[in-house]
Amino acid sequence: RVLKYGVLGSTILGSGYSLHANDYNVNSVALVRLAHAGLAISDIVLIYKKQLYYKEWDKATPEYAEQKSVCHKIAADRLLKLICINRGVYIKVGQHLGALEYLLPSEFVQTMKVLHSHAPQNSVEDLFKVIRQDLKKDANEVFDDFETEPLGTASLAQVHRAKLKDGSVVAVKVQHPYVRGNSKVDMKTMEICCRLMTWIFPDFNMQWLVEESKKNLPIELDFLSEGRNAEKLARMCKDYKWLKIPKIYWEHSTDRVLVMEYVEGGQVDDLKYMKRHKIDPNTVSNYLGILYSNMIFVNGYVHSDPHPGNILVAKTPRGDTQVTLLDHGLYCTLTDQFRYDYSQLWLSILKADRVAMRQHSEKLGIRGNLYAVFACMVTGRPWDAVMKGVNRTKHMESEKKTIQGETSMMLPQIADVLEHVDRQMLLILKTNDLIRSIEMTLGTQNRQTAFSMMSRCCIQTVFQQQIHQTKSEWAKLSLRL
């Protein structure tokens, strides 16, 4: 009895302390957040048990497929409700799920996609508390004006337009309160949730997603690191006069508050804006192709979150097209060996050389016949198009249904690829998917210039690596010749 009351008392005291530490925000208390997650997990398990697993189904019938789709949608809606209640890390993982079109049922993917543009937001008062805590000043001591309506809201922060005391117009990125404090508990809970997903969908294992999130989240929560990333890319791409990286105002920035230059422009997927301002989609796609081919294959330093909200397009006063890259929180740094192997893989894909594809896929962790699945994931094209030559066949609208059909039958193989592929590849796959999605929206997915640029970058990387690995001066000379 003493032990029972002791545990109860400790729980109450711990919850009380947690409540006080979180400014009496009940939803930020670890116990409450765990309870929300536990209830959601129970609800999702019951959905599948009652409506699918407790009944005798012929899995080959349309009725079973229809009922499974209904269960997926109800479960996805329940998961979305949990994400919107707990926010923070949950939204970040939900956004990642919304990008896994090649892995998750479409009901989950489509439901989670809403999080890319409609993440829940905090009040300005909550953000002012963060500014006061970090800058040791009230917001009105730093800013002459601070717009209450956010320019954008993401999983970890939201951005507002403001004006500094010296008149500079800036974008202020403020981390959501309590996100950092809740992150460890949330990641542990998300691990449990992912195990549940694996139980529901036994064809794949989502543990790689948890491990990647654990590794990347602390980096994304450090806005000073984001500022350094932005400046590093600006130095790296200084010759690209069409690329704009907003200036960082370091004197007003902390690890939870990032003040940067405000840049006008429309989202890269806003075709009406581009038409109104006479911006050529092909020019934009060419610029993105140049930027990402060089980042991935040549420099090995890659902005890994190029969703449309992070890429702005505009016309300069001189009438030139300008591309602005925002949100530099997540980068992947690639080793020289990875760049070499990945370049060789792409060159083999462009030549439709299946023997070389298999050889270079193995260097990236893919064994056996899974190289074909891997090639499809890398290119976003069905195997038939890969073997005909992705640079020689047009990307048809009908391919989307083909890919979806192949994906549903290949889930175990896709999961196997994600489980064993070189970890550096995971963010590259995500980046490839986001860039391809932008090209599809702009209608520029069949540009031959994209393959030409990629080929040049791949050849440059292969050549440089071969020179580096060659010890003989005569051999180096012959390679250069």
Residues 271 and 417 occupy one common structural domain:
yes
Query: What is the number of domains present in the chain?
Result: 3
Residues 359 and 459 occupy one common structural domain:
yes
Pairing of strands 243-244, 169-175: unpaired
Residues 293 and 189 occupy one common structural domain:
no
Mean pLDDT rounded to a whole number for the chain: 86
Choose the weakest-confidence range: 177-186, 356-365, 401-410: 401-410
48 or 351, higher pLDDT: 351
Q: Is the pLDDT of residue 239 over 80?
A: yes
Asked if residue 465 is part of any domain, the answer here is yes
Q: Residues 151-184: pLDDT tens digits?
A: 988 888 999 999 999 999 999 999 998 888 888 8
Interval 10-37 mean pLDDT: 58
Asked if residue 140 is part of any domain, the answer here is yes
Residues 193 and 227 occupy one common structural domain:
no
CA dihedral 59, 65, 68, 69 (to 10 degrees): 170
Q: How confident is the model at residue 20 (pLDDT cuts 50, 70, 90)?
A: very low
Q: Are 297 and 457 in contact (CB under 8 A)?
A: yes
Asked if residue 22 is part of any domain, the answer here is yes
Q: How confident is the model at residue 52 (pLDDT cuts 50, 70, 90)?
A: confident
Residues 304 and 372 occupy one common structural domain:
yes
What's the rounded Cα separation, in Å, for the pair 376 and 399? Answer: 12
Tokens of 467: 């020179």
305 is catalytic: yes
Q: Residues 323-345: pLDDT tens digits?
A: 999 999 999 999 999 999 999 99
Residues 236 and 279 occupy one common structural domain:
no
Q: Residues 82-109: pLDDT tens digits?
A: 988 888 888 888 887 777 766 677 888 8
Q: What is the pLDDT of residue 115?
A: 83
Q: Are 132 and 437 in contact (CB under 8 A)?
A: no
Q: Are 457 and 350 in contact (CB under 8 A)?
A: no
Q: Is the pLDDT of residue 187 over 80?
A: yes
Residues 405 and 358 occupy one common structural domain:
yes
Residues 451 and 314 occupy one common structural domain:
yes
Q: What is the pLDDT of residue 18?
A: 44
Quick one: CA dihedral 52, 54, 59, 64, positive or negative?
negative
Tokens of 152: 């954008």
Q: Is the pLDDT of residue 2 over 50?
A: no
What's the rounded Cα separation, in Å, for the pair 387 and 393? Answer: 10
Residue 331 Rama label (left phi>0; alpha psi -120 to 50; beta): beta
The contacts of residue 223 (CB under 8 Å, 6+ apart) are 157, 173, 175, 253, 254, 255, 256, 257, 258, 329
Q: What is the pLDDT of residue 11?
A: 37
Paired with 313 in beta bridges are 266, 323
Query: What interhelical angle do 354-363 and 336-350 show, nearest 10?
Result: 160
Q: Residues 436-479: pLDDT tens digits?
A: 888 988 998 878 778 889 999 999 999 988 777 766 655 555 54
Interval 230-241 mean pLDDT: 97
Range of the domain at 99: 2-118+180-208
The contacts of residue 471 (CB under 8 Å, 6+ apart) are none
Asked if residue 217 is part of any domain, the answer here is no
Q: Residues 141-152: pLDDT tens digits?
A: 999 999 999 998
Q: What angle do CA 231, 143, 260 make, to 5 degrees?
A: 15
Interval 10-28 mean pLDDT: 47
Percent of the chain with pLDDT over 90: 50
CATH number at residue 157: 3.30.200
Residues 326 and 373 occupy one common structural domain:
yes
Q: Is the pLDDT of residue 9 over 50?
A: no
Tokens of 247: 């200036």
Q: How confident is the model at residue 7 (pLDDT cuts 50, 70, 90)?
A: very low
What's the rounded Cα separation, in Å, for the pair 73 and 340? Answer: 42
Asked if residue 216 is part of any domain, the answer here is no
Q: What is the pLDDT of residue 27?
A: 60
Asked if residue 64 is part of any domain, the answer here is yes
Q: How confident is the model at residue 348 (pLDDT cuts 50, 70, 90)?
A: very high
Asked if residue 354 is part of any domain, the answer here is yes
308 or 410, higher pLDDT: 308
Q: What is the pLDDT of residue 479?
A: 46
Inter-residue long-range contacts of 41-48, CB under 8 Å, 24+ positions, other chains counted: 41/192, 41/193, 41/196, 43/78, 44/75, 44/78, 44/79, 44/196, 44/200, 45/196, 45/200, 47/71, 47/74, 47/75, 47/78, 48/75, 48/200
State the catalytic residue, choosing from 186, 305, 327, 416.
Answer: 305
Identify the three-state secondary structure at position 144: strand
Tokens of 246: 């907003």
Q: Residues 264-307: pLDDT tens digits?
A: 999 999 999 999 999 999 999 999 999 999 999 999 999 998 88
Pairing of strands 321-325, 243-244: parallel
Q: How confident is the model at residue 419 (pLDDT cuts 50, 70, 90)?
A: confident
Residues 148 and 86 occupy one common structural domain:
no
Amino acid, single-letter form, for residue 453:
M
Paired with 170 in beta bridges are 162, 261
Residues 140 and 49 occupy one common structural domain:
no
Q: What is the pLDDT of residue 108?
A: 86
Asked if residue 481 is part of any domain, the answer here is no
Residues 409 and 464 occupy one common structural domain:
yes
